[in-house]
Amino acid sequence: MSAQLIDGIALSQKLRAEIAERAAALTAQGRQPGLAVILVGEDPASQVYVRNKVKACGDVGIHSVMEKYDADLSEAALLERIAALNADPSIHGILVQMPLPKHINPHKVIEAIAASKDVDGYSVLSAGELMTGLEGFRPCTPYGCMKLIEATGTDLRGKHAVVIGRSNTVGKPMALLLLQANATVTICHSATPDLGLYTRQADVIVAAVGRRNTLTADMVKPGALVIDVGMNRDENGKLCGDVDFANIKEVASHITPVPGGVGPMTITMLLMNTIESAERG
C-alpha cells in the first residue's frame, strides 16, 4: 500500500487564492489588512522566516510592516513599539519573531500584543479561548495541520488521534483542536515510556518532536493518517521531518511530506488569521 500524499503546497495555494480575494474585498472598502512583523537580532533562521512572511503578505495583497532591531534593543523599547502598533488602525496583526534575545521576556512581549491582533495565537487569552471552545486566533501550525486533515475528507469524530509533543505552540493546541473536532486524543511526550504502544492504536498521528525517525513504520497502524510537523536535517543536511517517511508511506493511508506538507501551511494560516482579524474590524 502506498499512502496518498497530503500536499501542503497545493492546499496553501488554494487557500491563499481565497485569502487574496478577501484581502481585495477589504481593500476595496478602504480597509486593507495589515500585518506587522518584528525581528530582534540577527538569527539567520528567523531572518528567513520573517522574509517569507513579508513576501507572502505581498503575494495576497496584505499590507506588511517589517521592523528589524539590533539584538541589544531593550525590552522597554520593544514594548513601546508594540503599544504603538496596537494603536495603529492600519495594522490588524502583530507578530514578534521568536526566539528573542535572552534579556527580553517573551511572555511579557506576547501578552503586550493587543488580543485583537494576536494572529500567532500565542497569548494566554488565545490559549484560553481555544481551551474553552470560544472563537479566537488559533496557533498557525496546528491550525494548518487541521486544514491538511480536513483536505483528506477524514471525519475525526470517534477517531483516536495521538499527538507526539506537548509544546505550547504546537502539541498542546493541536490536541485541543483534535478534541474540538470530536477525536479521542492521547498526548505523548519525552516521558512516555513506550511511544509505539500508543501510536499503534492511532487512526491519526501528529508528530511534533524535532527528532528524526521518532515514528517508524512498525509504530503505525495500517491505514492511519500521519501528519509530520518536524523540521530536522538528515546526515546529508537535507530537510526531513520526525517520521520515517519512506517506510511509513507504505503503511499509512495519508501522509504529509517534509518539505511541502505542514511548512507552507503555517504561513498560510498566519495570513488567514490576519484576514480574519481585519474582517472583524
Interface residues with ligand NAP (CB under 6 A) are 141, 164-167, 169-171, 188-192, 195, 208-211, 214, 229-232, 262-263, 266
Nearest to 189 by CA among 217, 210, 203: 210
For ligand NAP, give the closer residue by CB, 85 or 248: 248
Shortest reach from residue 158's CB to ligand NAP, in Å? 25
Ligand-binding annotation for 167, yes or no, is yes
Ligand-binding annotation for 157, yes or no, is no
| Angstrom distances, CA of residue 223 to CA of 1, 4, 24, 120, 251 | 9, 10, 41, 33, 6
Q: Which residues pair with 188 in a beta bridge?
A: 164
Ligand-binding annotation for 74, yes or no, is no
Alpha-carbon span 260 to 5, nearest angstrom: 10
Q: Is 269 helix (H, G, I), strand (E, B) or coil?
A: helix
Shortest reach from residue 128's CB to ligand NAP, in Å? 20
For ligand NAP, give the closer residue by CB, 26 or 96: 96
For ligand NAP, give the closer residue by CB, 64 or 266: 266
Look up 97 and say whether it is catalytic: yes
Look up 120 and say whether it is catalytic: yes
- For strands 225-228 and 239-240, give the pairing: unpaired
Catalytic choice (7, 13, 47, 97): 97
Sequence-ordered list of residues with C-beta below 8 angstroms from that of 175, at least 6 positions apart, any chain: 161, 163, 166, 185, 187
Nearest to 152 by CA among 267, 259, 10, 258: 10
Shortest reach from residue 235's CB to ligand NAP, in Å? 16
Look up 53 and say whether it is catalytic: yes
- List active site positions: 53, 97, 120
Binding residues for NADP(+), as ranges, are 165-167
